[in-house]
């Protein structure tokens, strides 16, 4: 599947939209390349917003309630 996506033609318009999206989110395009971001969102089968959230979770980790210890005595 990865080869199929990486060989897909990415339209210039998609790259421009990704660039504008990243700039609006105050994310430097030197850190996140718009073309790579388009590829990632296609691989995740997600919108730019959803892809960004999923990528943030992957990088930062996702907090869950299982990280907490309920009923812990001091």
Q: Bigger pLDDT: 5 or 10?
A: 10
Residue 4 has pLDDT above 60, yes or no: no
Alpha helices (H) along 1-74: 2-6, 12-24, 34-43, 48-60
CA distance 69 to 72: 6
Structure confidence at residue 1 (pLDDT)? 47
- Angle at which helix 12-24 crosses helix 34-43, to 10 degrees, equals 100
Indicate the pTM of the whole model.
Answer: 0.70
């Amino acid at each position: 599947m990865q080869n199929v996506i990486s060989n897909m033609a990415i339209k210039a318009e998609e790259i421009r939209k990704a660039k504008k999206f990243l700039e609006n989110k105050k994310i430097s395009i030197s850190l996140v390349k718009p073309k790579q971001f388009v590829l990632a969102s296609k691989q995740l089968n997600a919108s730019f917003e959803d892809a960004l959230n999923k990528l943030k979770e992957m990088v930062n980790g996702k907090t869950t309630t299982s990280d907490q210890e309920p009923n812990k005595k001091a």
